[in-house]
Amino acid sequence: MLPLGIAQTWAYRRFITGSVMQEFRARYSQSLLGGLWAVLHPLALIVIYSVIFSKLMTTRLPGYAQPYAYTIFLCSGLLLWTFFAELLTRCVGLFVQNGGLLKKVNFPRLTLPLIALFSALLNYLIIMALFFGLLLVAGATPGFEVLGALPVVAIVSGFAVGLGLLGATVNVYYRDVEQFTAVSTQFWFWLTPIIYPVAIVPEQYRYVLEWNPILPLVVAMQDVFLRGTLPHWGSLLYPALIAAASLGLGAWVYFRLGQDMTDEF
Amino acid sequence: MSFDAPMPLPAGALKLQGIGKAYRLYGKKWGRALEWMGIGHHHQLHWVLKNIDLELGPGEALGIVGENGAGKSTLLKLVTGVSRPTSGHIEVGGHISALLELGIGFNPAFTGRQNAAHTLRLSGVEDQAIPVLLEGIEAFAELGDYFEQPLRTYSSGMQCRLGFATATAVRPDILIVDEALAVGDVFFQQRCYDRIGAFRESGTTLLFVSHSAQAVFALCERAILLKDGEVAIDAKPRAVIDLYNAQVVARSSGQGVTVIETSPLTEQETDSGAPDDSMDGPGTTGSYTAGAARLIALTVLQDGQPAAAVIANAAMVVRVEVAFLEHVADPHVGLQVRDSRGEVLYRAHTHGLGVSLGDASAGDVIEVDFQLMPHLMPADYTLTVGLGAGGKPGGAIEHSLLRHQDVASFSLVRSPDDDHWDGVVNLQPQVVHRRLAESESGG
């Protein structure tokens, strides 16, 4: 039957890991700084925001004595957001970008979002390792609470892949989705308390941010790394439900509309 | 034990039942989105394949010919499973490998070995089988040290060699080959065909897409012609290629040429002068006419007598009689001799032979004698006759007006005093020998 099934995808697990490794190596093989660029990009953001905002924000981050408090606060949220936005953007373009391959070779299409997911996770792992280095230097080494970040990353992954699968399928027919994703992630970023704490948002406007399923996730990461506490599990319920719903919706749309996608390439 | 369960197809078998493929065309951009929301009906179906019924047994070799846009690629997409039929049912026995585009999915930054391994995984090969297969690929592609170099350093021929070696590393139950198999130099091409031949001997079913009559003759025992999304004919390659060639002429000439069905003229028909009867009934494929002239008779003669059997190595005459129904400027008569497989052994026309017949008017009848020396193997041969108009410099003809495919046949028999030889053409050697040294004990 058609290359939609999940069982076939499992049979292609070595293709998935092989592709992830290939992509990882490709980053290094043809540029001088190679994989460093993957790190330099968020690093530049961190430096810029730290320099510009840390002075403005220190008064607003009361009770944190560490000299790097703002930077740690920023990294916790920003790195998670970068992971989310990159994975989402990449997923949305997947089917269109691989159109040539999809119309020539019969292989399980669901391997593509999985390759994107594992590649993004690998990059996130590397940059988080650097972040841990920073925490060591700052004398803010987190304890076992760090394990609390794992469910957060899992929820973000599911949310990005579900939304991405939905977008990728519609994008086959309407390329507007790619553009829309690029624009809307910009707004989304500023509507998420990543470079500013929720506390500076006036009470009467805070409900505007409540809809945002990324917000509790970012706050959870700040809890883990800045405050050294486990996430408030109850606050993760809403994003977890949204992630599950987006996975379900993405899969439903993909199986309904994606069957004849090769006719469009 | 259940008697209702459908029998799975044996490996290498292929079954297409009532296959149709239609693409959805939307008049308005929003049409598709509106349909998703369940609002109205906004598309038209554009059918590119209709009513395809095809059954192949294990080990069969099927040639697929047809002009661009006839539906060949779409048919292959359905068989490989990358696209879904709109109607009908496809059953595939076993594992398919498709040589549609060599080197698809290759990454120029990686070495030949890395790309080959990646492509094997892409085609679903189990991990533990890969090292052994890579050895075979390395040996077959003959890339030497380049196998460990990035692909961007390869010539296009080398990339194709790696692509072919990788795509055929595992013997598939069904192999799909596009004619793009013009890979590398002639020696590597030969090895490609050898490998395909070896697969066939081991029971691989072949689907071969080509415009090349020679390749289809060489590889296939059966062929189909796709025309406007339907199977126009499913027969021996010879009949299919003939019809295809006639259709190409009919379409490209712009002279109002139509494809017709003819059958061989028999002695009685030629004698009674009733060639019109020959238009009826089952016959050969590949004939066409523009309506400007009619073939009245074609006779094979030897020693001045009509002959069904002709003695090799002695002159024979092929006599063509054509009646003109319209004025034709500078007409030329052509002749083909073909063997039983349909391969053309000789082809010439009066213009190419430096003969001018003069303009013809309606009502004219022209008889042309081709006197030939049949220096061929004793076997059965057919004759195909054509009429064209307008000789061009360089020996070509402006347009073709009439062709009667395989209109007559003759058997060539060995003359008792002929030399013994084997092959296709008698090259009539003169053998001279000299003794350059002589042993002392000798004569």
Domain boundaries defined on chain B: 267-413
Residues with Cβ within 8 Å of B243's Cβ and at least 6 positions away in sequence, in order, are: B225, B232, B233, B259, B285, B286
Cβ contacts (< 8 Å) between B127 and chain A: which residues? Answer: 14
> Are A26 and B109 an interchain contact pair (Cβ–Cβ within 8 Å)?
yes
Question: Where are chain A's structural domains?
Answer: 6-264
Residue B281: predicted pLDDT: 33
The answer to whether A166 touches A103, Cβ cutoff 8 Å, is: no
Residue A221: predicted pLDDT: 94
Residues with Cβ within 8 Å of B181's Cβ and at least 6 positions away in sequence, in order, are: B99, B164, B189, B192
Residues with Cβ within 8 Å of A5's Cβ and at least 6 positions away in sequence, in order, are: A108
Residue B1: predicted pLDDT: 42
Residue B328: predicted pLDDT: 92
SS3 state of residue B16: strand
* Size of the A and B interface in Cβ pairs below 8 Å: 69
Is A21 within 8 Å of chain B by CB? no
CB neighbours (10 Å) of residue A149? 21
Is B109 within 8 Å of chain A by CB? yes
* Burial of residue A214, with CB atoms counted within 10 A of its CB: 0-12 exposed, 13-18 middle, 19 or more buried: buried
Between CA B268 and CA B266 the distance in angstroms is 5
Between CA A165 and CA A254 the distance in angstroms is 7
Is B33 within 8 Å of chain A by CB? yes
Q: How far is CA B388 from CA B209, B253, B329, B398, in A?
A: 30, 11, 10, 7
> Are A260 and B84 an interchain contact pair (Cβ–Cβ within 8 Å)?
yes
Q: For the residues of B152-184, what is the DSSP string, one character each?
A: GGS-HHHHHHHHHHHHTSS--SEEEEETT---S
The answer to whether B413 touches B366, Cβ cutoff 8 Å, is: no
CA distance B225 to chain A (A): 23
Q: What is the pLDDT of residues A70-93, one digit of tens each?
A: 888 888 999 999 999 999 999 999
Residue A52 has pLDDT above 80, yes or no: no
pLDDT band for position A1 (cuts 50, 70, 90): very low
Q: Which of B347, B270, B279 is nearest to B307 (CA)?
A: B270
Residue A151 has pLDDT above 90, yes or no: yes
Q: pTM for this one?
A: 0.75
Cβ contacts (< 8 Å) between A107 and chain B: which residues? Answer: 122-124
Is A185 within 8 Å of chain B by CB? no
Residue type (1 letter), B298: L
> Are A106 and B23 an interchain contact pair (Cβ–Cβ within 8 Å)?
no
Cβ contacts (< 8 Å) between B32 and chain A: which residues? Answer: 173-174
pLDDT along chain B (443 residues), means of 10: 61 90 87 85 88 91 87 90 91 86 81 92 87 92 90 86 89 84 68 86 89 76 90 87 80 66 51 36 68 89 86 90 92 90 86 91 92 89 90 85 87 81 87 89 57
Across residues A126-146, what is the average pLDDT? 84
CA distance A63 to chain B (A): 51
Q: Identify each DSSP E strand in B1-112 by its residue range.
A: 14-26, 43-56, 61-66, 87-92, 96-99
The answer to whether B165 touches B102, Cβ cutoff 8 Å, is: no
First vs last C-alpha separation in chain B: 84
Residue A55: predicted pLDDT: 66
CA distance B188 to chain A (A): 24
> Are A14 and B100 an interchain contact pair (Cβ–Cβ within 8 Å)?
no
Provide the H-helix boundaries in A59-68. none
Between CA B292 and CA B324 the distance in angstroms is 6
Domain spanning B267-413: which superfamily? abc- transporter (atp binding component) like domain (2.70.50.60)
Out of A19, A29, A103, name the one closest to residue B82 (CB): A103
Identify the closest residue of chain A to B102 by CA–CA distance: A104
Identify the closest residue of chain B to A19 by CA–CA distance: B118
> Are A15 and B122 an interchain contact pair (Cβ–Cβ within 8 Å)?
yes
Q: Which of B327, B343, B318, B323 is nearest to B407 (CA)?
A: B318
Q: Tell me the ipTM for this assembly.
A: 0.79
User: How big is chain B by its Cα radius of gyration, in Å?
Assistant: 28
Residue A154: predicted pLDDT: 96
